[in-house]
Amino acid sequence: MADQIPLSMTVNGQTRRGLGEPRLTLADFLREQANCTGVHLGCEHGVCGSCTVLMDGEAVRSCLLFAVQADGADITTVEGLAPDDETLHPVQEAFRDCHGLQCGFCTPGFVVSVAAFLETNPDPSDDEIRHGIAGNLCRCTGYQGIVAATRQAAATMKGSRQS
């Protein structure tokens, strides 16, 4: 077995240290050593988007990164988006309001992706939304609620930016 490498990164604002073989993926590190079981694995080959997290602010597939590559990085997972235990992030709130989830398995990846998408596209058209979220697969909702949630979250986030 390859040597275990010490790892350290900021996860949702906290320093997380751990050990892992070089081949340990960031997703497995987050799930197993950083208590972020909201990072879901739907394919482990980069297509479904369930494992999406923010690395230094950018949405990435955590199944396609090795944990060592994120050493020293700042990671935000779905667990880290809400400001506190009572309040939801506007994207999370919108997913709930618009029935953007059923089984919830794809949801963490969608929520993180939509939050990142709206950072760079604060005022998307429906077509931009549909293509913008096409990197995440959902098998339950038929995307109707997800598109509506993205629309709602865009409006809320724009509102709060302006105020």
Partner 1 sequence: MSQTAAAARYVGQSVKRLEDPRLVTGHGRYVDDIVLPGMLHAAFGRSDLARAAITRLDTSAAEALDGVHAVCTGADLNSHNDSLRASLYPPESPAPPANMLADGDVRFVGDPYVMVVAESRYIAEDALDLVEVEFEPLVPVVDYETAAESDHHVHPELGGNLAHDLPVPNPATDEAFADAAHIITETWHQHRQTNVPMETRGIVASWQPHAGVMEVWASTQSPHELQLVGARVLGIGEHKMVVHFGDVGGGFGQKMFLGREDMAVLVVAKLLGSPVKWIEDRRENLLASNHARIEQMSVKMAVGEDGSFLAADLDQLEDDGAYPLGGPATPGAMATMLFPGPYRMGPVSWRARTVYTNTCGRGAYRGPWQMESVAREQMIDRVAREIGMDPLELRRRNVLTPEDLPYQVSTGLHFETTISPEQTLEQAAEMIGYDEFRAEQADARKEGRYLGLGMALYIEPTSMGMGPLGTESAMLRVEVDGHVNVFMGTGSHGQSLETTIAQLVADELGVRPGDVTLHQGHGSGYGFGTGGSRSAVIAGSAARAAASGVRDKVVAIAAHLMEASADDLEVADGVISVKGTPAASMTLAQVAATAYQNSDALPPGTEAGLEHTARYKAPPSTHSNACHICTCELDPGTGKVTLLRYVVSEDCGVLINPMVVDGQIAGGVVQGIGGVLYEHAVYDESGNPLASTFLDYLVPTAAEVPELQTGHVVVPSDTPGGHKGTGEGGAIGAPPAVFNAVADALAPFGVYPNRQPLDPNTVLSLIASASN
Partner 2 sequence: MVGLLAEHGDDAKPLAGGQSLVPLLAMRLTRFEHIVDLNRVDELFGVSADNGGVRIGAMTRQAAVETDDAVADRAPLLHLATPHIGHFQIRNRGTIGGSIAHADPASEYPAVMLALDGVAEIASASGTREVPAAEFFESTFMTAVAPDELLVALRFSAWNQLAGFAFDEIARRSGDFALAGAAVGIGTDADGRINRAAVGMLGVGPTPLRASSVEAALMGLAASDADPAEIGRLAADDMDPIGDVHASVEYRRQAGSTLVGRVLANALAQVSTEAGNG
Ligand X SMILES: Cc1cc2nc3c(=O)[nH]c(=O)nc-3n(C[C@H](O)[C@H](O)[C@H](O)COP(=O)(O)OP(=O)(O)OC[C@H]3O[C@@H](n4cnc5c(N)ncnc54)[C@H](O)[C@@H]3O)c2cc1C
Residues forming contacts to ligand FES in the complex (CB under 6 A) are 41-44, 46-51, 61, 63, 101-107, 138-141
Q: How many CB atoms lie within 10 A of CB 126?
A: 11
CB 44, CB 30: distance < 8 Å: no
Strands 58-61 and 74-76 turn out to be unpaired
Q: Which is nearer to ligand FES, 6 or 104 (CB)?
A: 104
Binding mask 77-106 for partner 2 (x = CB under 8 A): ------------------------------
Q: Which is nearer to partner 2, 17 or 23 (CB)?
A: 23
Residue 60 near partner 2 by CB under 8 A: yes
Residue 72 near ligand X by CB under 6 A: no
Distances in whole angstroms, Cα of residue 35 to Cα of each of 13, 47, 67, 120, 141: 13, 24, 15, 29, 27
Q: Exposed, middle or buried: residue 156 (CB in 10 Å: 0-12, 13-18, 19+)? A: middle
Residue 30 near partner 2 by CB under 8 A: no
**Contact residues for partner 1, defined by CB under 8 A:** 1, 21, 23-24, 31-32, 36-45, 47-48, 50, 77-79, 81-82, 88, 92, 95-97, 99, 101-108, 111, 126, 129-131, 133-147
- Residue 43 tokens read as 């394919």
Residue 44 near partner 2 by CB under 8 A: yes
Binding partner selected for residue 77 from ligand FES, partner 1, partner 2, none, CB under the kind-specific 5 to 8 Å limit = partner 1
CB 51, CB 41: distance < 8 Å: yes
